[in-house]
Amino acid sequence: MTQTLAEPVKSGGRHANTTLVVPFLSLGGLAFAVLQSLVAPAFPTIAREFGVDTGQISWIPTAYLLSASVLTPIPGRLGDMIGRRRVLIPVLAVLAALLVPGTRRRP
């Protein structure tokens, strides 16, 4: 009995540069994790701004996580339709642009 192995199919397409893909995916995962935990340290400031105690604003993390879980599949679907890299890089750029003003200290 003889066995013939098929030759591997050669693709003419471009291969992803793994040295760039892994850091960008790691940055995306880290950014998502940081964003999910950013609300908790802001509770005292939010309570002070609205003039309520911290117990009365317990709905904020629920609303934040709910909105994040509802909106997360949208960039995922866009990535499937037009390409992951074409979606991931602009999403990370918008995230960085929104976080920079939040890091400034107010007098």
Indicate whether 13 belongs to any domain. no
Indicate whether 58 belongs to any domain. yes
For 17-59, the pLDDT digits (tens) are 677 778 877 887 787 777 777 777 888 888 888 898 878 888 8
Indicate whether 4 belongs to any domain. no
Indicate whether 2 belongs to any domain. no
Residue 92 near residue 27 (C-beta atoms within 8 A): yes
- 31 lies in which domain range? 19-102
Give the chain's domain count: 1
Indicate whether 80 belongs to any domain. yes
Indicate whether 49 belongs to any domain. yes
With a CB cutoff of 8 Å and minimum separation 6, the contacts of 61 are 39, 40
- Prediction pTM value: 0.49
For 63-91, the pLDDT digits (tens) are 877 887 888 888 889 989 998 889 888 88
